[in-house]
Amino acid sequence: MNDEDIRAAVQEHLDKHPIKPWYNPFQTADIDLVRGRPWIEDLARIPSQTLKVEFLPNSTDGTAVVFTQEALYTLFRPFGKLLDIQPQPLESKVEPRYATLRFIRPRFAVMARNCMHGYVVSAAEGGGKAGTRFKINYERKIKMSMIRDWIVNHPRIVIPALAALVAAITVIIFDPVRTFFIKMKIKSSLHTEEYPVVQWIRKQVSKANRIYFGDRRTDPRGLAAIWEDRQNDISQLQAWLTETVETFIVIYGPRGSGKRELILDQALKGHKYKVVIDCKQLQDARGDTAKISRAAAQVGYRPVFSWMNSISSFIDLAAQGMIGTKAGFSETLDAQLSKIWQNTAVAMKRVALEGRHKDDKDAHMSDDEYLEAHPEKRPVVVIDNFVYEPENSIVLDKLTEWAAGLTTANVAHVIFLTTDSSFSKPLSKALPNQVFRTIVLGDCSLEVGRRFVLSHLDTEANDGAEGLKESTKQNLAGLDDCIKVLGGRITDLEFMAHRIEAGETPQAAVGRIIDQSASEILKIFILGTDSVTPQWTREQAWHLIKTLAHAKDGSLLYTKVLLSDLFKDNGEATLRALEQAELISIGSVKGFPRWIKPGKPVYHAAFQQLIENKTLKNRLDLVILGQLIGQENKSISKYEEELQVLGSLPKHPRELTSRIEWLLRKIQGSQTKILQYESDSAILTKLLYSEK
């Protein structure tokens, strides 16, 4: 049989018994006659629908014939439908000559290459005297070198496009995951104490007295007396959480007044959905990466690739040097925080809407209408330690802006816990023309403080040895006087209770607190001004310490302090800075500053202890006198300069007589003060020299 008969026989067999590949049941195998010399190879050459047919001479002394499109069509059309035949351009100098054939499908090109590679076109078929041999290879429509060259030559397009692609992938893949973890954080899904199984196990183990999970006492810190005294504030706060009002709730009070415990342990005790954000952690973080990590950790935003921000910054820097503009890989702290807060807002809204059902009577409402009608469904955001600092303005501005969006959109209730009396200024930027709902927490009364200490000791006694209660009662002599010294600051009362439990008397415990407070004041406000440049001087701080220690009722009039010589220049800003640092507290009457008191009740006793140190008192008084003498000398120099200008005039108009007399009286008054200050300085210097 000849080749053609064999091909026809095989084709007939395949028509009756078709072979179909497993990956494509609609396709059948096809055959054709191999006319050339196929090159069997295992090179990494991926088949394509385009073939490059090169025309080579069949002998060394022969020449190849360049075939026309009609001739190539006749030879290659039997293998499959052709889309195009492109001959080599006439101006091209590439040897050997070639033509490009593009089939409609890659399988047709594979068939043509396997059958026609090495085929020699005879002279009778138009291949020349010695014949022309075909060399066939796959030709890609777009070469990898072309792609590489285009990428290298167009960085202004490629780099921003790559940055946009990375951002899109991040949003599509990671944002749903991050929102899921934030929802878990809001719903406290990882807090297993609420699960009935865990509660049962704890109960059984506690009965067996083998392992103990959690706290055995219902009131471990003995705060029941404090909460009874502040029951009105707790009820008011809980009522606000059931109302729809687009404003902030602010809990203001000095440090140690129990703001956090009041909110989390009492007002929000039965509220499931809450998130606590501690501004102090964000402010103390060093660098943008640390701030992003801490912000993400507080709301459960993960995964977070904060380390990628530094790498992206280097990429942006390199791109800027190459193309002249930033590529957009790195994001600012502002943008990163916006992403975190935005994902948190989305998760909060989903949590608030989880309780909706199609058969509810308000199912016809939109999501916004439902949230407005059901304020009790909204999560609660507690922003703790909110103190506005200019160096952290980006973080706090972004946080307050986000909180305002949550409030106005009825997504969540927002509660600020702050010790900063000027909290209204930064919050008003986010919610202008709004009156904040404010609860002011002061120190508890002496009676409540006494009940707090006694309840704390009774609680500890009931959980400890049987004889502890009797021993503590024997050491409570003078407790009322000690509580009066400490005032109603919860942290100080609790510290005293712990020391009494340890066997100390109330007087010894209070003495320890006073000593510690005096050391802190001395370090921060007196000696600490050498290494830093705060908004106050040691002279101003000592003046307040001394005058408050001598005050009969422990307070000073705000206006009188501003009229003193040490507070003439920018006195109000200095007093606000000292209030922020908790050396003093400023009381207001109808919004106007009226009086100044120590920052803590125990500070009054600490001030008295400091002024009893004669060496310290004399040295600082001497420093104050030196500063006052310097101020008066500057004033005299200013008056003398004006007198010199007036004296240089050719004539002395009588209209200037009153001005000259006023300047002379000022110089005389300043000189009188200087003489008095120098006299007092001499006495203090003599006392310091006489010390042994």
Cα distance between residue 334 and residue 339, in whole Å: 9
What is the widest separation between alpha-carbon atoms in the chain? 144
pLDDT of amino acid 651 = 76
484 occurs within a structural domain: no
Length of the chain: 692
Which of 334, 363, 328, 366 lies closest to 349 in space, CA to CA?
366
**Residue 248 confidence (pLDDT):** 92
Model confidence pLDDT, tens digit, residues 143-161: 666 677 777 776 767 767 7
Give the per-residue pLDDT at 196: 63
Residue 213: predicted pLDDT: 42
The answer to whether residue 490 is domain-embedded is: no
Per-residue b/e over 165-182, b at no fewer than 16 CB within 10 Å? Answer: eeeeeeeeeeeeebbebb
Domain CATH code at residue 100: 3.30.70.330
Domain that holds residue 90: 32-141
pLDDT value, residue 367: 86
Low-confidence residues of the chain, pLDDT below 70?
141-146, 154, 156, 159, 163, 167, 170-171, 189-222, 305-331, 391, 458-475, 528-533, 692
Q: What pLDDT is recorded for position 692?
A: 66
Side-chain half-sphere exposure of 452, counting CA atoms within 13 A:
30
Query: Phi, psi (5° rounding) for residue 381?
Result: -105, 120
Q: Are 33 and 111 in contact (CB under 8 A)?
A: no
Phi-psi domain of 487 (left: phi exceeds 0; alpha: psi -120 through 50; beta: other): left
Tokens matching residue 627 = 């500063």
Number of domain units in the chain? 4
What are the pLDDT digits (tens) for 194-226?
556 656 666 665 555 444 444 444 555 567 777
Distances in Å between the alpha carbon of 160 and those of 308, 327, 329?
Answer: 17, 5, 8
Handedness of CA 437, 585, 507, 446 (dihedral sign): negative
Same domain, yes or no: 607 and 617: no
Are 311 and 301 a contacting pair, CB within 8 Å?
A: no
DSSP-based three-state secondary structure for 593: strand
Q: Are residues 277 and 193 in the same domain?
A: yes
581 lies in the same domain as 525: yes
Residue 451 lies in a domain: no
CA dihedral 665, 671, 675, 680 (to 10 degrees): 100
- List CB contacts of 48: < 8 A, sequence separation 6 or more: 106, 109, 138, 139, 140, 141
Owner of token pair 């702050």: 418
User: For residue 596, what is the domain's CATH number?
Assistant: 1.10.10.10
Whether residue 264 is found in the same domain as residue 388: yes
Together in a domain, 265 and 197 = yes
Residues 116 and 200 in one domain: no
- At 449-496, the pLDDT tens digits run 888 888 777 655 454 444 445 555 556 777 888 888 888 788 888 888
Within a domain: residue 499? no
Cβ count near 616 (within 10 Å): 14
> Is residue 4 included in any domain, yes or no?
no
Asked whether residue 678 is domain-assigned, the answer is yes
The crossing angle, in degrees rounded to 10, of helices 106-116 and 69-76 is 90
Pair (253, 293) in one structural domain: yes
Quick check: helix, strand or coil at residue 57? strand
